[in-house]
Amino acid sequence: MSLSVCELSFSYHRAPVLSGVSFEAHEGELLAVLGPNGVGKTTLFRCILGEQKRYFGTIEIDGADRKRLSPREVAHRIAYIPQTHAAAFRYTVRDMVLMGTSHTLSPFASPGKKQEAAAAEAMEKLGITALSDRSFDALSGGEQQLVYIARALAQQTRTLLMDEPTSSLDYGNQIRVLNAVKTLSREGYSVLLSTHNPQHALWYADRVLALKDGRVAALGPAHETLTETLLEALYGTRVTLTDSQTGPVIRPVPNIE
Binding site for another protein (CB under 8 A): 46, 49-51, 70-72, 74-76, 78-80, 82, 86-92, 94-95, 99-100, 102-103, 105, 107-111, 116, 120, 129, 132-133, 137, 155, 161
- Nearest CA among 248, 247, 218 for reference residue 231: 218
- Shortest distance (Å) from residue 164 CB to another protein: 14
Nearer to another protein, 141 or 248 (CB): 141
Nearer to another protein, 87 or 233 (CB): 87
Asked if 71 and 55 touch (Cβ cutoff 8 Å), the reply is: no
- Shortest distance (Å) from residue 98 CB to another protein: 9
CA distances from 26 to 149, 190, 206 (A): 19, 6, 10
- Shortest distance (Å) from residue 93 CB to another protein: 11
- Shortest distance (Å) from residue 190 CB to another protein: 16
Nearer to another protein, 167 or 199 (CB): 167
Q: How many CB atoms lie within 10 A of CB 244?
A: 7
Nearer to another protein, 192 or 202 (CB): 192
